[in-house]
Chains A and B, each alone.
Chain A
Amino acid sequence: MSLLTDPLVQRMLIVAVLVGLAAPIVGTYLVQRRMALLGDGIGHVALAGVAAGWLVGSWADFAERDALAIPGAIVFAVAAAAIVERMRSHGTTGADVVMAIMFYGGIAAGVLLISAAGGTNANLLGYLFGSISTVGWPDVWITATLAMVILVIGLGLRQALFAVTNDQEFAFSIGLPVRVLNMIVAVLAAVTITVAMRVVGVLLVSALMILPVAIAQLVTRSFAHTMWLAMGIGAVLCLTGVGITLSHDLQPGALIVVLGVAVFLLISIINTVTRQRHQGQLGRVDADR
């Protein structure tokens, strides 16, 4: 257990738990709205923000060239999320193509800007696949602050955000501030992506938001339970993944995602088998009354 006294290990575990808890909150709203893939796209744009921050940092000749990488990612991700939400709520025709262009443009611009800023492929890989083993205390503080924002808003407004993502037309009819709440979901998604980027990288960032929700849904039937369970699953997955990489030389982000997929498949199979048995014994129980 001497490992746990190592400050780096402490930092890694703290960040892992925070990200694991926070990411599935927004993931639940995105899945509810059937926008599970949104995180992937915004992650791509966030990479351009990382690179832009890096470029500014190198122009300003900062000692740490990537000091502005995370702020840059937040700005770009929030802007992308806001644009996507605006197109969604206005029902813009061809919105999917605009999104696709934005997302590919984001990752391509990110790669170009990082090389222009004098960054290396290794720097780039850290953002593409995560770099939790390099977190310093300032990173922990940023992560903790943003995670708290997500937890407080995402959980505090759960009933209102549920109403809006569950039935927008009804939400309008009861006088909920639908547009504001929609924008909150989009901005929270962007913030989550920047936070989770550190652990799993932009390419897998969406997995941390969606996988725990997908797993939780296999065993729950209420929205609140799904969200709580997904948060627990997210935290356990992140801790387990990071924990294993302490003793095994594996890539933490990829490991967390593979673990999640494995759990999802396992529970799906168990569910299918037990359901078939159940139906064999009882016949259909959900018949109309």
Chain B
Amino acid sequence: MTAHSPIDTSTLAPAAKVTGLKVALGGTEILHGVGLTCAPGEVVAVMGGNGSGKSTLIRAMVGAIPSTSGTIQMFNEAPTRKTMARVGYVPQRVSAASGVSATAREVVMSGLLGGGRLRAPRDARQRAEQTLTDMGIGELAGRDVTRLSGGQQQRVLIARALVRNPELLILDEPMAGVDVPSQDALAHALTGRKDAGTAIIIVLHELGSLAPLIDTAIVLSQGCVTHVGEPPHEFGVHALPGHDHVHPHYDPHESEPGITWEVAP
């Protein structure tokens, strides 16, 4: 599935590679050996119903929660502060805001920290404003983020990841509760990044307007990979809560846990 991509992803070293990942939260194993690979310029969708473990996978990858076994590699090495400087992460938007108001500009500027840097660079303000403009909300830079709409807040969080100019972009349900203009702005931004060779891993509940972008879909069910390959058709219906069954055309051999999935070129 490289039809959408001007870059031949098969020959490039993966930007992210996860093998046999197991994660336990509060004594319960949530992921039972999950693998994932994403090459530069490739868009991998991580899909599955509620509680399938897709957010847990993402959060373990960015180091927010520890894994019990398996390996996570970014740019062919174990994640360090240095490699994480090349990653942009968009966490699930949490409706509960922080206690002190902050402007969209301040939130985006915080994306310029990390990787050994505790203070934003000199041109941080301009870069933050430019990225907000790219996301179509430049005029909201000075506004309190908690007063923005859900879609606008989501665009701020995406700008915070994009301002880092990441080589690997990881997004957790960026389309959840987002208005149509924001969905379009997101799809536009992701297309630009993909064409520029950014590896993109995106957790989705349904394919929606991002469907044309996606090269590979990985479907999780109860902490195991049940499908790797082309995005399943009309996934949205099956991803709804209560429809957590395995799609008939999945290859049963692919549903074993503990196997590393190489993404088909």
The interface of chain A, by Cβ under 8 A from chain B, is 28, 31-34, 36, 157, 159-160, 162-163, 165-177, 213, 217, 220-224, 226, 286, 288-289
**Shortest distance between the CB of B79 and any CB in chain A (Å):** 8
B64/A217 in contact, CB under 8 A: no
Hey, what's the 0/1 contact readout for B60-89 against A, CB within 8 Å counting as 1?
Answer: 001110000000000000001111110101
The interface of chain B, by Cβ under 8 A from chain A, is 59, 62-64, 80-85, 87, 89, 91, 98-103, 105-107, 109-111, 113-116, 118-120, 142-144, 147, 149, 151-152, 160, 164, 170, 179, 181
A169/B59 in contact, CB under 8 A: yes
**Shortest distance between the CB of B167 and any CB in chain A (Å):** 13
Q: How far is the CA of A222 from the CA of B101 in the complex (A)?
A: 6
B98/A159 in contact, CB under 8 A: no
Instruction: For A163, list chain B residues within 8 Å (CB).
Output: 110, 113-114
Q: Lowest 10 CB-CB distances: which A-B pairs, in order? A: A174-B114, A175-B81, A175-B84, A173-B89, A173-B62, A221-B144, A288-B149, A163-B110, A223-B102, A160-B118
B113/A172 in contact, CB under 8 A: no
A31/B113 in contact, CB under 8 A: no
Which of A32, A157, A220, A224 makes the CB contact (< 8 A) with B118? Answer: A157
Say whether chain A's binding surface is mostly helix, strand, loop, or mixed.
helix
**Shortest distance between the CB of B15 and any CB in chain A (Å):** 15
Which of A159, A213, A222 makes the CB contact (< 8 A) with B142? Answer: A222
Tell me whether A222 and B181 are in contact in the complex, defined as CB-CB below 8 angstroms, given that A166-B110, A170-B89, A170-B160 are known contacts: no
A31/B114 in contact, CB under 8 A: no
Instruction: For A221, list chain B residues within 8 Å (CB).
Output: 101, 103, 142-144, 147
Q: How far is the CA of A131 from the CA of B120 in the complex (A)?
A: 41
B111/A174 in contact, CB under 8 A: yes
Jot down 17 A-B pairs with beta carbons below 8 A, ordered by A: A32-B98, A34-B98, A34-B99, A159-B113, A160-B118, A162-B102, A162-B106, A167-B91, A172-B64, A173-B63, A173-B89, A174-B114, A175-B115, A220-B101, A221-B101, A222-B144, A289-B152
A175/B114 in contact, CB under 8 A: yes
B118/A159 in contact, CB under 8 A: yes
Q: How far is the CA of A201 from the CA of B81 in the complex (A)?
A: 42
**Shortest distance between the CB of A161 and any CB in chain B (Å):** 9
Instruction: For B105, list chain A residues within 8 Å (CB).
Output: 222
B102/A175 in contact, CB under 8 A: no
Instruction: For A32, list chain B residues within 8 Å (CB).
Output: 98-100
